[in-house]
């Protein structure tokens, strides 16, 4: 992630111009008419939307967002209610939020759409950032940075392109073979494009990468423009529709939600129900995992935090006081290791991590970092909240078997065939398919107390262990860390360990014998050596030679970071199953790859 400077604009009334390119963002005569003619109608979007299950649009030059907003209006008018739209847009010079709002309001864009856009508007950092319009089943993926290298990191397929940079003579970085090769890579047979220009070099370069082009009358004062189609490549593959998700913890539930949002039909299998094992944690923290020297980890944390916040909002959690226990988390460098790590972070620029942290103290003996968007969550309650809206079967799955026509799930005394299977099982469960990677098992216990803590407000504390408020004057302390998988269950010794470890939180905890313990919770987590989950197709020969698509996918091993990574992992998995543009650049998606250990790609962390 590298910082980006916002676009420098000059305003002629409500008409914005980019100073650096000496060019306007849209037609001075009829901006909305230009978008409809040059992009919406050129790509036949009304009729294609009407028949869409899932559709992907790619754009070079997000600009003011007018193209997206008018496409969103077209989508609402023509698309079936269960269809899903993925809109991918590259932008090297994002507008400041105030400029974006002014430009869109001047064009009559609905205030609610502008508000949704601005509420999730990403920080000015290079990378891939998502904005969700859940009521419309639409995701907007903004790819910030120079188009050619940024698009090279994107995986998926695009059905229609909007080529809308500034004039080619003034913005050659967006109109060249390097960019167009990425368009060709992301296109398939039948992908279309529309653009306002008909410049000779643009036409020749697009034809070189495989587009068949046609010159048609231009809009307003432009004589000609181009429309085109990509006749090469494979036709769209048949995608899974019925998907079994095995495991109803936070990973499986988030995956089922993402699949359902994209119009698929997920069925959950879990004999214990939703959130009744490790994901039943009554006091989990959603915090970023940041390091001053690890830009990949920080980028992954930013994507994870944004995805989880979007899922929480989409599922109505922000209005539920029974699920969110604390808003904001203060991280204190209590241990020597934490002090060193937080000290390096405190000395860095919070903007480089997307504003995920603020420095409250840079004292080298006790640095303090605050995560303003972090949360304390009753994870078990949240999982039950998600599970109530999903199809869940309380059955134990014994095995899954890939076939040429799908995957057979053997559960209980019966079996059922699905188009694909997502394995999201927890710690200690047997492998469901030969060669399934097995994570380590780590246990942990939380302790609930009833003791007034004057040093703690409505936020949570972490450092050596963590503490967060519950209800009725009670607090959760935790958690112990047991590597012995055979020592399951609540133990008095673990309560004593939590009370001793968390004495730093408040003077009221210094006399551990005087603290009233009102409860405890124990769970086991599945952990891989690098503390990252496995998300993607099952490695190895799990499908028949004639099957063009993987059938078995893994989504497991989130350890103590399920809240941070499960939502973005679910989007990655669902988009990959559907062949849509993915939410993570390939450099970050590789960190989740189930094959990373076999391929020697593992980086110890």
The pLDDT of residue 593: 95
The pLDDT of residue 458: 83
pLDDT > 90: percent of the chain: 81
Q: How confident is the model at residue 603 (pLDDT cuts 50, 70, 90)?
A: very low
The pLDDT of residue 537: 94
Angle at 395 between CA 389 and CA 397, to 5 degrees: 115
Q: Among 178, 172, 174, 156, which Cα is nearest to 164's?
A: 174
**Mean pLDDT in residue range 229-253:** 90
**Mean pLDDT in residue range 234-241:** 81
The pLDDT of residue 604: 36
Q: Give pLDDT tens digits for 170-219.
A: 999 999 999 999 999 999 999 999 999 999 999 999 999 999 999 999 99
Which of the two residues, 598 and 489, has the higher pLDDT score?
A: 489
Query: In terms of C-beta distances under 8 Å and separation of at least 24 residues, what long-range contacts does 513-517 make, across chains too?
Result: 514/451, 515/449, 515/451, 516/449, 516/450, 516/451, 517/447, 517/448, 517/449
Rounded Cα distance, 222 and 11, in Å: 22
- Is residue 417 predicted with pLDDT exceeding 50? yes
Q: Give pLDDT tens digits for 573-583.
A: 999 999 999 99
The pLDDT of residue 307: 97
Range scoring the smallest mean pLDDT among 66-75, 138-147, 321-330: 321-330
- Is residue 379 predicted with pLDDT exceeding 80? yes
Rounded Cα distance, 313 and 206, in Å: 41
Q: How confident is the model at residue 434 (pLDDT cuts 50, 70, 90)?
A: confident
Q: How confident is the model at residue 605 (pLDDT cuts 50, 70, 90)?
A: very low
Range scoring the smallest mean pLDDT among 139-143, 221-225, 298-302, 339-343: 221-225
* DSSP of 88-143: EEEESSPPPHHHHHHHHHHTT--HHHHHHHHHTPPPSBSEEEEEEEGGGTEEEEEE
Phi, psi of 462, deg, nearest 5: -140, 155
Note the pTM of the prediction, 2 decimals: 0.95
Q: Determine the straight-line distance between the first and last CA of the chain, rounded to whole angstroms.
A: 19
Rounded Cα distance, 221 and 427, in Å: 65
Q: CB–CB of 329/374 below 8 Å?
A: yes
Q: Compute CA distances 554 → 280, 396, 455, 560, 572, whole Å.
A: 21, 17, 42, 18, 12
Q: Give pLDDT tens digits for 468-505.
A: 998 888 999 999 998 876 678 999 999 999 999 999 99
The pLDDT of residue 321: 65
Rounded Cα distance, 229 and 227, in Å: 7
Q: Give pLDDT tens digits for 33-67.
A: 999 999 999 999 999 999 999 999 999 999 999 99
Q: CB–CB of 480/445 below 8 Å?
A: yes
The pLDDT of residue 320: 62
The pLDDT of residue 545: 47
Which domains does the chain show, CATH number per domain?
9-230 (3.40.50.150), 242-277+383-433+529-592 (3.50.50.60), 287-294+319-377 (no CATH), 440-521 (3.30.9.10)
- Is residue 549 predicted with pLDDT exceeding 80? no
Which of the two residues, 315 and 418, has the higher pLDDT score?
A: 418
**Mean pLDDT in residue range 346-366:** 94
Q: How confident is the model at residue 599 (pLDDT cuts 50, 70, 90)?
A: low
Average pLDDT, rounded, for the chain: 92
């Amino acid at each position: 992630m590298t910082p980006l400077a916002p676009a420098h604009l000059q305003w002629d009334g409500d008409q914005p111009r980019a100073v650096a390119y000496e060019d306007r963002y849209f037609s001075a005569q009829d901006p909305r008419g230009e978008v409809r003619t040059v992009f919406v109608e050129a790509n036949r979007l009304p009729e294609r939307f009407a028949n869409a299950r899932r559709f992907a649009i790619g754009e070079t030059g997000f600009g003011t967002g007018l193209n997206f907003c008018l496409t969103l209006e077209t989508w609402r008018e023509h698309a079936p209610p269960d269809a899903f739209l993925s809109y991918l847009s590259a932008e090297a010079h994002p507008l400041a939020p105030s400029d974006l709002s002014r430009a869109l309001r001047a064009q009559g864009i609905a205030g609610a759409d502008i508000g949704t856009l601005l509420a999730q508007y990403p920080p000015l950092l290079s990378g891939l950032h998502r904005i969700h319009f859940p009521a419309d089943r639409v995701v907007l993926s903004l790819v910030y940075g120079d188009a050619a290298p940024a698009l090279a990191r994107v995986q998926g397929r695009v059905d229609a392109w909007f080529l809308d940079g500034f004039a080619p003579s003034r913005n050659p970085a967006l109109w060249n073979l390097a960019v167009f090769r990425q368009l060709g890579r992301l296109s398939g047979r039948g992908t279309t494009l529309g653009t306002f220009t008909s410049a000779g070099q643009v036409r020749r370069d697009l034809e070189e990468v495989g587009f068949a082009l046609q010159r048609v009358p231009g809009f307003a004062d432009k004589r000609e423009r181009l429309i085109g189609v990509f006749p090469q490549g494979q036709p769209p593959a048949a995608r899974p529709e019925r998907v079994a998700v095995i495991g109803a913890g936070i990973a499986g539930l988030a995956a089922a939600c993402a699949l359902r949002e994209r119009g698929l039909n997920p069925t959950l299998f879990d004999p214990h129900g939703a959130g009744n094992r490790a994901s039943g944690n009554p006091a989990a923290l959603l915090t970023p995992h940041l390091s001053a020297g690890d830009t990949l980890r920080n980028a992954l944390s930013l994507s994870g935090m944004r995805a989880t916040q979007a899922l929480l909002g989409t599922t109505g959690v922000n209005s539920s006081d029974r699920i969110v226990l604390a808003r904001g988390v203060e991280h204190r460098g209590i241990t020597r290791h934490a002090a060193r790590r937080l000290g390096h972070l405190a000395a860095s620029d919070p903007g480089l991590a997307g504003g995920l942290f603020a420095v409250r103290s840079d004292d080298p003996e006790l640095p303090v970092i605050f995560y303003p968007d972090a949360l304390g969550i009753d994870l078990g309650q949240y999982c039950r909240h998600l599970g109530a809206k999903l199809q869940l079967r309380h059955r134990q799955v014994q095995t899954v078997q890939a076939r040429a026509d799908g995957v057979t799930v053997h559960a209980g005394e019966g079996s059922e065939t699905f188009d694909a299977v997502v394995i999201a099982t927890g710690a200690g469960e047997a492998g469901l398919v030969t060669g399934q990677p097995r994570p380590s098992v780590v246990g942990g216990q939380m302790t609930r107390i009833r003791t007034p803590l004057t040093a703690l407000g409505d936020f949570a504390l972490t450092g050596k262990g963590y503490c967060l408020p519950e209800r009725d004057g009670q607090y959760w302390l935790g958690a112990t860390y047991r590597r012995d998988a055979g020592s399951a269950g609540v133990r008095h010794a673990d309560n004593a360990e939590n009370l001793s470890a968390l004495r730093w939180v408040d003077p009221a905890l210094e006399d551990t014998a005087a603290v009233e313990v009102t409860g405890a919770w124990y769970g086991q987590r599945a952990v891989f050596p690098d503390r990252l989950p496995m998300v993607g197709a099952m490695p190895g020969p799990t499908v028949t030679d004639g099957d063009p698509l993987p059938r078995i996918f893994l989504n497991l091993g989130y350890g103590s970071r399920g809240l941070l990574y499960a939502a973005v992992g679910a989007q990655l998995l669902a988009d990959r199953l559907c062949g849509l543009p993915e939410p993570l650049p390939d450099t970050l998606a590789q960190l989740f790859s189930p094959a990373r250990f076999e391929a020697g790609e593992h980086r110890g962390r």
